[in-house]
A = this chain, B = another copy of it.
Amino acid sequence: MREQLQNLVDRLAAYNAATVVMDWDTSTGSAPEEAGEYTAKLLGILAGEAFALSTCDETVSLLKDCMAEPSDDEIEQAVVKRLWEDYEKTHAIPQREYQEFHELTSKGMRVWEKAKGTKDFSLFAPTLGKLIEKAKKIKGYQPKKDGLTLYDLMLDEYEKGFTTAELDRFFDGLKKELMPLVKAISEKQDEVRTDFLNRPCDVESQKAFNRLLAEYLGFDLKRGVIAESEHPFTTSLHNHDVRITSHYDENMVASAIFSTIHETGHALFEQNNSDEITMTPLSGGSCAVHESQSRMFENMIGRSEAFWEPLYPKFKEVFKGQFDDVSMEEFVRGINAAAPSLIRTESDELTYCFHIMIRYELEKMMFDGEVSVDELPKLWNQKYQEYLGVEQEDDGEGILQDVHWSGAMFGYFPSYALGNAIAAQLYHAMDKNVDVEKALRSGDLSPIRAYLREHIHQYGTMRETKKLLKDATGEEFNPDYYIQYLKAKYSKLYRL
């Protein structure tokens, strides 16, 4: 990369890393309780610095020069394109406004935590209202695009190229094909035994097993760490510092396991970013593709019998006799059980997309001004009853369950559902090249990692999702693989 551009990229990477570490420090309980407000201010200032750098005259003129005389280097081209797009999206936002927005999101998280702790949405509602208004205002500075709503622009922020028109079609398809399956399964709850998954498993043993699991999947612990937080997440400074968290509950052994597999899926993406793109704006991965990796590992790989064949004896050993009466077949059936429920992160593979659909429908309404903040819990409850037939007891297990809105990440949820669909499409393509089941049964996942590294991980966000998917699978985005996968799996499991 030309020197001036490298210098800009380095400086942006440093701001990003500072923010990542300060967020990590807060989220994993390293920071003291009362530091939050002060530290939020400092984070807001850092965000303002990065913003000022991305939009200053010198940067604009550098990017224009780079575009006038483009490099042959694919990476440099992609970096320039990304930085220019970011500039176009943000330069009209007054710096103070941008900084205030970041302070608000930082504060939002603390307010949400308190509200969640007391299960009281009314504590969070005023802040949520402000977050929506501020997010709309910030988006309003962006150049309008023909036929796109504010919420389309929000979606575009997280997954380029997917609009409400496309998502409406996608979710309508899921609704049509999967709602009958959800209903049929609700009526056959006795088919699959899951009681043993609530047997007490001491947290220290859980930690040991989860660490083993992450390493088994290929998470390099010399270039990564595992910690604890309320809500599991993955973050990274660069491909040599990738961090995941889990959350342990003595009576929910599977919860931490599938969180760890999920986050390790993300972490493998980050650790396998090429050295050329790490610490550049191309590092990481787009939201949906990132989620395709975490969900592929969590569900398509992590809940398969082939995966557990080499691991189940170790699992039984770690939990000293607690599962001696449970055969591997029963265990695998148990971890795949489906039942409509309230909590997205604990929900099964089949009903998961309905949780996303509800958020998506609410967000659209919030952005179109069709619903006020105060009406949200009621609407939330109505939709959970309609799609899943379940009712919340309090806001904690309802509208407060997820952290995302507290950080103004409106438009993010749909990428979770897209990620599942992309995972199924990628798995299908991978399986034509790598005998996935054989690799899993042998206990050596390296062919799987090599495939994903070659086709996905190394590129970070260098290629847009639709192109990346086409390059890897030879096909356009096609949610049918996802629908067919779920139908086949659950019809068999519940003998429908």
Binding site for B on A (CB under 8 A): 10-11, 13-14, 17-18, 21-22, 24-25, 28, 30-35, 37-39, 41-43, 45-46, 49, 221-225, 227, 237-238, 240-243, 279
In the complex the two chains form, is B238's CB within 8 Å of A32's CB?
no
Residue contacts A-B, CB under 8 angstroms, 24 given = A10-B41, A11-B49, A13-B42, A14-B43, A14-B45, A17-B22, A21-B22, A24-B30, A25-B30, A30-B30, A30-B225, A30-B227, A32-B224, A32-B240, A33-B222, A33-B223, A35-B237, A35-B238, A35-B241, A37-B240, A38-B240, A38-B241, A39-B238, A42-B279
Please measure, in the bound complex, the distance between the C-alpha atom of A31 and the C-alpha atom of B24, giving whole angstroms.
Answer: 10
CB-CB under 8 A from A279, the residues of chain B are 38, 42
Please measure, in the bound complex, the distance between the C-alpha atom of A465 and the C-alpha atom of B37, giving whole angstroms.
Answer: 32
In the complex the two chains form, is A223's CB within 8 Å of B39's CB?
no
Q: Shortest beta-carbon distance, A432 to chain B, in Å?
A: 35
Q: Shortest beta-carbon distance, A288 to chain B, in Å?
A: 27
Please measure, in the bound complex, the distance between the C-alpha atom of A70 and the C-alpha atom of B18, giving whole angstroms.
Answer: 35
Please measure, in the bound complex, the distance between the C-alpha atom of A103 and the C-alpha atom of B1, giving whole angstroms.
Answer: 21
Please measure, in the bound complex, the distance between the C-alpha atom of A336 and the C-alpha atom of B45, giving whole angstroms.
Answer: 48
In the complex the two chains form, is B32's CB within 8 Å of A46's CB?
no
In the complex the two chains form, is B13's CB within 8 Å of A21's CB?
no
In the complex the two chains form, is A39's CB within 8 Å of B222's CB?
no
Please measure, in the bound complex, the distance between the C-alpha atom of A269 and the C-alpha atom of B457, giving whole angstroms.
Answer: 48
Shortest Cβ-Cβ A-B pairs, 8 listed: A18-B18, A35-B241, A14-B45, A14-B42, A17-B42, A34-B222, A33-B222, A34-B223
**A interface SS class:** helix
In the complex the two chains form, is A241's CB within 8 Å of B49's CB?
no
Among the interface residues A21, A28, A243, which one has the most CB atoms of the partner chain B within 10 A? A21
In the complex the two chains form, is B237's CB within 8 Å of A39's CB?
yes
Please measure, in the bound complex, the distance between the C-alpha atom of A37 and the C-alpha atom of B25, giving whole angstroms.
Answer: 20
Please measure, in the bound complex, the distance between the C-alpha atom of A225 and the C-alpha atom of B39, giving whole angstroms.
Answer: 15
**Given A17-B22, A30-B24, A30-B28, also A35-B227 (CB < 8 A):** no
CB-CB under 8 A from A13, the residues of chain B are 42, 45
Chain B: CB-nearest residue to A23: B21
In the complex the two chains form, is A225's CB within 8 Å of B32's CB?
yes
In the complex the two chains form, is A18's CB within 8 Å of B25's CB?
no
In the complex the two chains form, is B34's CB within 8 Å of A17's CB?
no
Q: Shortest beta-carbon distance, A391 to chain B, in Å?
A: 38
CB-CB under 8 A from A34, the residues of chain B are 222-223, 240
CB-CB under 8 A from A39, the residues of chain B are 17, 237-238, 241
Chain B: CB-nearest residue to A279: B38
Residue of B10, B35, B237, B243 touching A240 (CB-CB under 8 A) = B35
CB-CB under 8 A from A224, the residues of chain B are 32
CB-CB under 8 A from A243, the residues of chain B are 32
CB-CB under 8 A from A242, the residues of chain B are 32
In the complex the two chains form, is B46's CB within 8 Å of A14's CB?
yes
CB-CB under 8 A from A18, the residues of chain B are 18, 21-22, 42, 46
Chain B: CB-nearest residue to A227: B30
CB-CB under 8 A from A225, the residues of chain B are 30-32
Residue of B32, B43, B46, B240 touching A241 (CB-CB under 8 A) = B32
Other than the known A13-B45, A18-B42, A32-B223, what 12 A-B pairs have Cβ atoms closer than 8 Å? Answer: A10-B41, A11-B45, A13-B42, A14-B43, A14-B45, A32-B222, A32-B242, A35-B223, A35-B237, A39-B237, A39-B238, A42-B279
